[in-house]
Amino acid sequence: MLLFNTGSDLNIRGSFSMRMQVYLDNAATSYPKPEEVYEAVVSFMREIGVSSGRGAYRKALEADRIIYEARRSLAELFNVKDTKQIVFTSNATEALNLAIKGILSEGEHVITSQMEHNAVCRPLKRLEKERGIEISQLSCLSDGSLEDLDLLGAVIRPNTRLVVITHASNVSGTIMPIGEIGKICNENAVPLLVDAAQTAGVLPIDVEAMNVDLLAFTGHKGLLGPQGTGGLYIREGIQLEPLKEGGTGSESILETQPDILPDKYEAGTLNAAGLAGLGAAVRFILLQGVENIRKREMELTAHLLDKLRENDAIRIYGPDDSEKQVGVVSINIGDHQPEEIGYVLDEVYGIMVRTGLHCAPCAHRTIGTVERGTLRISLGYFNTEAEIDYTVQALRQIAQRGVH
Amino acid sequence: MFLEEIEMMFMEPCVANKGVRMFARMSKDISGLMPYLNTAIKNATYNKDGNTLCFTKEFRLITLYPEKVAMAKALNPTDAWQVLDWIKDTINETYENRDSIQPSHERRVGVTALDFFEWLPRLNCGKCGEPTCLAFAVRLLLGERGIEECEPLLTTEYNKLRKVAFDLVSALGYELPESYNSSVLERSR
């Protein structure tokens, strides 16, 4: 928070220099980032600035080393034994597309949930049309949780090739029981793809203990890195068709894509400056400890939920329990359109939130908000209780006076 | 930490499916540690006069000089970096544990494919995809195949053979999948 104006009333409007800013859209992109991240990006661009994996000169090796260290830090964070099994993509969406389109063939069956993001739903829908795949959705309750985990075993068929499920919903924040799902998938020898867009860097993830075969993550949310970074962990032995072919800087004599990871899936020059920042961000997270980050976000989430609950005009969606959700809270106020409230929050109070359908129509259908959408408050590691109090106070004023 | 850094100095991108070659400089002279590494790295060949230590990690060929590492046949740059990390860890662990390691100045005679062949079922069943057990033994030695790919060896009939083959493979520093490790112990109980 840049400035805390205790007289936070409508008269703030117009006095730009006195305007405070509260950023509560961390589920879209986390902001701000740790200082180390800015430094790593700038120093890479200024002092190194060359392609990785492409040259025999010292600077190219330095670029290579920085990218390797980002990969190694991620491997440590997710307990990945072989660093090569992590491939970089530009975000979780690309990672999910690579995994889904790379593994599913004609006529195969996939199981997913009713809380998925469009980054999962849309690739599946395309394959349904183009490859005739069959999609089963595990039904979810209105708080976003799975109705009956035991159903998963029953839904698995001989031609089930993949289970794809979000680790935590970007709409309601609901955390899915990945460890238990992974156990069932493992017993049935069906690979599990986890969409960790909302959880990487925020919840502990152990691909071995949780039996995760494919882990799609993005760098710009909980991992505190720059936009345009992300990746996919691929368990050894799982073969995916690459999404793209091209130069890898290795085995250049081959006319076909090399078969060895990570090069197989990393055609084209990598976003080295972004990855330098991501590496610094993940090292920051490892130093803080994911458990500590989770603890802090739970404190903030509990504080927000407590304050919101005090106002009867505010409807809270999702589990309404900081133990069962990440720092993502969807609400609505009275009969107001969330877009209008979002506009007033920004314009009058300098509070940035997301409104609408959050790219996940099926999740909105599940929690009953597909018509109106929600106003989503998403917390980050650097938010404060004071910012939350100020936001809830603003919501209270809006609930009393309306948006006009 | 004994060895702070191994700095990559040169990496030749692989041109024709033969792997990546590279060399790196170490931040400390490891001459004094070589006899200990000779013991710790089971498949190493120590050349006392030349002050070099050669060994393989699976299919990769590695030579340690007093202040330099050379590696050939790494899969790709990421693989080369990863193995450099492993070398650094191995050197540091050997240094940490040097009091309990018996230093060795001997130059070990290399193991041949025939040594492996001795402990295979020798059925030439072809289940591993090789035409003969001897061919399998050769590729096992090169690190291109894993001992667990010999299906008959995993059956109860070959409990005794399996134990020896298992010990031989791990004594030579080849990696065994963890699942195999435990399942072998399970089965031989």
Please indicate whether residue A359 is annotated as part of the active site: yes
Contact call for B81 and A262, based on CB within 8 A: no
- For residue A43, the Cα-to-chain-centroid distance in whole angstroms is 27
Per-residue confidence (pLDDT) for residue A105, from 0 to 100: 97
Per-residue confidence (pLDDT) for residue B183, from 0 to 100: 42
Q: A192-195 and A160-166 as β-strands: parallel, antiparallel, unpaired?
A: parallel
Residue with tokens 């899936």: A265
Same-domain check for residues B95 and B134? no
Q: What sign for the dihedral angle of Cα A185, A322, A29, A365?
A: positive
Of A26-35, B93-102, B132-141, B157-166, minimum mean pLDDT range: B157-166
Length of chain B: 189
Same-domain check for residues B142 and B71? no
Per-residue confidence (pLDDT) for residue A8, from 0 to 100: 45
pLDDT in tens, B64-77: 999 999 998 898 88
Q: pLDDT higher for A146 or B50?
A: A146
Where chain A has pLDDT below 70, the residues are 1-18, 54-55, 252-253, 404
The first and second tokens of residue A191, run together, are 């690979």
Same-domain check for residues B13 and B94? yes
ipTM of the shown complex: 0.80
B107 belongs to a structural domain:
no
B106 belongs to a structural domain:
no
Residues 13-32 of B with CB under 8 A from A: 13-17, 20
The residue among B100, B128, B145 that closes a domain is B100
B105 belongs to a structural domain:
no
Residues paired with B57 in a beta bridge: B60
Q: Does B182 touch chain A (CB under 8 A)?
A: no
Length of chain A: 404
Same-domain check for residues B88 and B154? no
Per-residue confidence (pLDDT) for residue A9, from 0 to 100: 46
Per-residue confidence (pLDDT) for residue B180, from 0 to 100: 54
Q: Is A144 left (phi over 0), alpha (psi -120 to 50) or beta?
A: left
pLDDT in tens, A177-232: 999 999 999 999 999 999 999 999 999 999 999 999 999 999 999 999 999 999 99
Domain hosting residue B151, numbered range: 113-188
Q: B68-74 and B20-26 as β-strands: parallel, antiparallel, unpaired?
A: antiparallel
Q: Which residues of A touch B (CB under 8 A)?
A: 52-54, 56, 58, 61, 64-65, 68, 71-72, 82-84, 249-254, 258, 260-263
- For residue A171, the Cα-to-chain-centroid distance in whole angstroms is 11
Residues paired with A175 in a beta bridge: A168
pLDDT in tens, A264-296: 999 999 999 999 999 999 999 999 999 999 999
B83 belongs to a structural domain:
yes
From B11, B78, B79, residue closest to A56, measured CB to CB? B11
DSSP letter for each residue of B8-55? EEEEE--SSSS-EEEEEEESS--GGGHHHHHHHSTT-EEETTTTEEEE
Per-residue confidence (pLDDT) for residue B164, from 0 to 100: 76
Q: How many domains does chain B have?
A: 2
The structural domains of chain A, ordered by start, are 10-24+289-401 (3.90.1150.10), 36-288 (3.40.640.10)
Distance from CA of B79 to the nearest CA of A (A): 7
